[in-house]
Structure 1
Amino acid sequence: MQLEDIGTVGVVGAGTMGNGIAQVAATAGYDVVMRDVEQQFVSAGFDAIDRSLDRLVRKEELTQAEADRARGRIEGTTDLADLRDAHLVVEAVTEDMGVKQSVFGDLDDTCGPETVLATNTSTLSITTIASVTDRPDRVVGLHFMNPVPVMKGVEVVEGEKTSEETLALGRAFAQAVGKETWDADDKPGFVVNRILMPWINEGVRAYDEGIAGKADIDRGMTLGTNVPMGPLELADHIGLDVVLDASETLHEELGDRYQPAYLLKRKVAAGDLGKKTGAGFYEYER
């Protein structure tokens, strides 16, 4: 399959990543079917898309007409069968191997034999996810960054049996929706989270050990390394539960150097997950 063969894009999962992927695909001119397991999640996904498009219009990055056309290209559903005619499907469900394999098994049964299946996983094995399908050559990792409409990068991950044609299509699609790409092999954490998770965890440890206050840790890293956010603020924006899940996966695969910080685990246990809950290392208006 070539890029020009893609007319309809399926997105499985209407959460933060899924609705962002649906938005950028629709803005680029693709028809999109966004599916989640319950209508309330689909509706919440559309609410997030509407807010994001409104922000882009206010910032004059889109006209109102362009935003309306993008919104009109997205269809919501709770029925996986509605993805049967999609040419490319991007999965963006919870970062759990069992859940992802279940989704890919169902997609393999539902979609046409030429459909390319992509996963937005940030740490899990593409090869293992693809193993439940009869098309492992047409399974690829497309790891979009959060927030999807803002971040310019997409990590393209090659599974053991991913074909060169599928990799090329993944790169071309990401570029068609306005992103820049880099390639990664199917090893735990790929490029971004392999390096990012220990950086965040070390920032949490530095705060927990009293090396500096949280604002000074973040200020030191932004001014000292020219990154836009320090580790604690970034963790809040990603979601502390997401950071913990990724860190635990890397810890299991790669050993003690990836052990999650104690304070990170305590925050998650308390339900303070960052910006999405109104409190993490900092407090936020909801």
Structure 2
Amino acid sequence: MIAAMSRSGLTAGPVLHPVLRAILSKPQPAVMGALNVTPDSFFDGGQFMAPESALAQAQRMIVEGADIIDIGAESTRPYGGMQPISAELEMERLRPILAGVVALGVPVSIDSMKADVTSFALDAGALIANDVWGLQGDPAMAALVAARNVPVIVMHNRDRADPAIDIMKDISAFFTRSLAIADGAGLPPGNIVLDPGIGFGKTAEQSMIALARLDELRAFGLPLLVGASRKSFVASVTPSEPQQRLGGSIAAHVIAARNGARIIRTHDVAETAQALRIAAAIEDKR
């Protein structure tokens, strides 16, 4: 049951960082609202580049039920076409936005693979690091989050999809390496959230396998985050553009919650929050 899994996630495993403990205190999964201040993100690129637009979107997501606002200033497009940018440009995009969003009072996470950008955002009040390369990209990231004693989302990633591999074995091996890096840097296990990286370095089939078998990752004893919002695996089942994938995103997120996800990252906060609450309420009637 979703509610039972959620409550058990608070007591199992290491003692959680206070920020994570507060976020995960509800019976249903926490909702992370995705705020992309980029011109090229696959779904909402360009919509929130202006500071006033970004702040209004953050306010809207909080009203709709977001427990975390995840701000990213570099597209990590899992479907290819990503154009890497410098840390300086990433910080330039964040500078006029971060303080205003932090002031709204909901925990802010910084979606960056660069330690310099993450440090900049933490200085501005962000409370969580979200690393799409799971501490295995920038060699300075693990030491940074350990020194700052902040929670970090460790996401599985690959340079390219390989349909021949066992994706669950690959995810588990990746997380084992990431946790060894974290341990070597002195980062407490209770500061870590694991994200299987739906769509990143995976075929559509592998993304769906990761969702279906998400509960296997609970063996790590750490909270799990899933972000399946608007991603292309939905189109592999029902051909659609990102703007037409709300139903598929909600279905994937409800299944992820049933399979142990404690945080759901989404572009559609109101609909996702409602779906998770209703699913939990129905499960409680069993």
Pair in the same fold by TM > 0.5: no
User: Higher Cα Rg: structure 1 or 2?
Assistant: 1
Q: Which has the higher contact order (CA 8 A, sep 6+)?
A: 2
TM-score, normalised via structure 2 length: 0.31
